Amino acid sequence: MIINRDNLRKNKFVKSIKKFSNSNFVARIVIASSIWLFALIPTWFYFLARWLIDPLGFWQELALLCIFGFLVGWFQVVLVFFGLALTFIAVFEDL
């Protein structure tokens, strides 16, 4: 999957993030933090499931990790790439 920076810059949502983030430094920090809280949702689901299931041994831990790695691991990778792109645009580029 290729992320085209020109198309990403033309997106209305990205333009609104850039406009808000150019207002001050605290806004940039808030935007970057909220992007990463959203991008790490599959990881939070894994931790919640691990807490609820409470695996006892090595094999249960390994099975849970493999199941969640297979089910939501790919989605986590996609969200990390989009999170990196949006964070770079919001924090480091000027409008």
Q: What is the DSSP string of the chain?
A: ----HHHHHH-HHHHHHHHHHTT-HHHHHHHHHHHHHHHTHHHHHHHHHHHHH---SHHHHHHHHHHHHHHHHHHHHHHHHHHHHHHHHHHH---
Torsion angles phi and psi, residue 4, rounded to 5: -85, 115
Q: Of residues 23 and 65, which shows the higher confidence score?
A: 65
In terms of residue numbers, what domain contains 61? 5-92
Quick check: 94 and 22 in contact, CB under 8 A? yes
Whether the pLDDT of residue 20 is over 80: the answer is: no
Confidence of residue 58 (pLDDT cuts 50, 70, 90): very high
For the chain, how many structural domains are there in total?
1
Torsion from C-alpha of 88, 92, 93, 95, nearest 10 degrees:
110
Please tell me the predicted confidence (pLDDT) of residue 11: 73
Please tell me the predicted confidence (pLDDT) of residue 32: 79
Whether the pLDDT of residue 1 is over 60: the answer is: no
